[in-house]
A and B are shown apart, each in its own frame.
Chain A
Amino acid sequence: MQPFTKLTAAAAPIDLPNIDTDRIIPARFLRKPKEAPGYASFLFHDVRFNADGSEKPEFVLNQAPYRGAKILVTAENFGCGSSREMAVWVLDAYGVRSVIAPSLGDIFHQNCFKNGLLPVILPGEVVAGLRRQLHQRPGAAITVDLESQTVTAHDGALHRFEIDPFRKEILLSGRDEIALTLDFDARVRDFEARHAREMPWVAP
């Protein structure tokens, strides 16, 4: 997995709450392999492109200063709905490395960690303020620093975020989580023996 340490990049605001993963990548693209050429074009496809393939100029990522943004600053519950991990793959393919939000869909949130994208949760007012700045100064950069757990806004304000030490460590190092868990194999074996004694009916 690609590690995440520190990123300074242009950010794009997504103002609507409850953006679901169907909107991030419509169902008809789910069978495409993520290595497919043009995979990034599936991102937000139906709100980003017209039926004839031309761009919808009102969509934020189609506006010059936000095009190619590596950070998204969203409203509440971004990534809700379907568990499709392709929603994270397609963001990654587009180049997005971090999503800053007041809250995220639970499975989407987990899926970010598994693919080296950093999900940052900050209070609603702070995130709304960041989005306002991005509207006032289109194309402004934001810095996300995982080591110090801070977001530096365009106006220089520093916002500290919380992140689980466990997830932080894995993101910083880019470690393979399965390999890490396999180190616990003896513990899993002990557990399985005890579990079979205490709840013998569980195994089918």
Chain B
Amino acid sequence: MATPLTMFEKIWSRHVVAEGPGGHVLLYIDRHLLHEGSTSAFGRLAKAGRRVRRPDLTFATADHYILTSPGVVTLVCGDSHTATHGAFGALAFGIGSTEVEHVMATQTLWQKKPKVMRITVEGRLAVGVTAKDVILAIIAKIGAGGGVGHAIEYAGSTIRAMSVDERLTVCNMSIEAGARAGMVAPDETTFAHLEGKPFAPKGDAWRRALADWKAVPSDSGAAFDREVELSASEIAPTVTWGTSPQDALPITGRVPDPAAVADGARRESMARALAYMGLTPGTPLSEIAVNRVFIGSCTNSRLDDLRAAARVVKGRRAVVPAWIVPGSGLVKRAAEAEGLDRVFVEAGFEWREAGCSMCVGMNGETAGEGERVASTSNRNFEGRQGKGARTHLVSPAMAAAAAVTGRLTDVRTLVG
């Protein structure tokens, strides 16, 4: 019998053009997404007198438009959150600007095969617990460097039960776990989502594609380099307290005490994070007052996210400035068609234009020095949302709860 293979292995092996020395392969790229940050690569390409080899496989995207990209394909983009597309079962990863130029010129990349980690989450999530809480719990468990050198496959009944939007959230934050790629095996949920979408195959091609997608999930008995297991019942609404995505705890917890940590380097980095965040050890997380709320970013700005936030907001009022930034123009219009914008505006939220906005604090859309933000984005690094700004990463439902109470709040006390 043939050796059982992982999904990663099946996709990888179908894209190897040539083998180089030392285990490097020349990997073929099926889809190359460009965004506004790719212009410098264009300039260098032109200067070297080279052309884009396959314009037909090169797509320009304006905002967080998700190319509803089918499984089995390889997809790259000069953005570290490209792994988001792994939610469809694609091998998708972020690349630097020189690599963007390489893909433009050759439609390939020299890649060393990563190791493969399977993260299995089993069971039903409690009310108020979402995909964002799952990925924050995963990162807290394996660490911000836990996935370095790996591609992650997310598996188990909890992931299977998720919508495509929720899977996109989980895969999006693979990079915050240190991994370059994260993926979910395509299944009926994926097929239903893809069918009829602009870039999905049609007719006979659809049937051929479906056969390929159905064959791609990892074989039973496939060997992974590392396996991690979590139980859904252990996952609560989660918030970060520090300046790394791994600094995450259930909302029912307290600000941790560095003095209780044995490892010196860890103690020092915790103390530094708490000083930056302006937090005192032992404070209940649910007593931390926030100055602002940001619901947006490529992690959590899709329709499901806005719906989840709107459910909490309905009939309540924001007591701190709160922004809703839909992920794309498409999402914005779909949300408006459902009347979500009115729910937010009536509750005193600002309904804004699609984009990255306060996730990265460019274009002046920043939080002020010392301001504390409950944010649905993916990075709570020092200065990420503005110089001296303090970020607490949360789910859209938790961000909505913080907006209406003015502090980090267990959303389960508002809905249930």
- Residues of chain B with a CB closer than 8 A to A98's CB: none
Q: Which of A167-193 contact B (CB under 8 A)?
A: 167, 169, 177-178, 181-182, 184, 187-188, 191-192
Instruction: Say yes or no: B20 contacts A204, CB within 8 Å.
Output: no
Give how many A residues have a beta carbon under 8 Å from the other chain's beta carbons: 54
Q: Say yes or no for B97: interface residue by CB 8 A criterion.
A: yes
Given contacts A22-B379, A26-B387, A106-B148, contact A83 B56 (CB under 8 A): no
Given contacts A83-B95, A199-B212, contact A178 B105 (CB under 8 A): yes
Instruction: Say yes or no: A165 contacts B21, CB within 8 Å.
Output: yes
Residue of B at shortest CB range from A22? B381
Pick from A103, A165, A181, A198: contact of B102, CB under 8 Å: A181
Residue of B at shortest CB range from A204? B199
Q: Which of B374-416 contact A (CB under 8 A)?
A: 379, 381-384, 387
Instruction: Say yes or no: B148 contacts A105, CB within 8 Å.
Output: yes
Instruction: Say yes or no: A106 contacts B149, CB within 8 Å.
Output: yes
Residue of A at shortest CB range from B362? A27
Distance between Cα atoms of A13 and B14 in the complex (Å): 43
Pick from A16, A26, A103, A181: contact of B26, CB under 8 Å: A181
Q: Say yes or no for A73: interface residue by CB 8 A criterion.
A: no
Pick from B26, B50, B265: contact of A15, CB under 8 Å: B265
Pick from A46, A75, A77: contact of B383, CB under 8 Å: A46
Bitwise, A7-44 to B at CB < 8 A (1) or not (0) is 00000000111101011001110100000000000000
B residues bordering A, Cβ < 8 Å? 14-15, 17-18, 20-24, 26, 28, 30, 37, 48, 50, 56-57, 70, 72-73, 78-80, 94-99, 101-102, 105-108, 110, 112, 144-145, 148-149, 175-176, 178-180, 199, 201, 205-206, 208-209, 212, 244, 246, 265-266, 268-269, 272, 360-362, 379, 381-384, 387
Q: Which A-B residue pairs are the 7 nearest by beta carbons?
A: A77-B145, A114-B98, A201-B201, A201-B205, A165-B22, A83-B80, A201-B209
Q: List 15 A-B contacts (CB under 8 A).
A: A16-B268, A18-B145, A20-B244, A22-B379, A22-B383, A22-B384, A26-B383, A75-B265, A83-B95, A85-B96, A85-B97, A110-B95, A165-B21, A166-B110, A188-B17
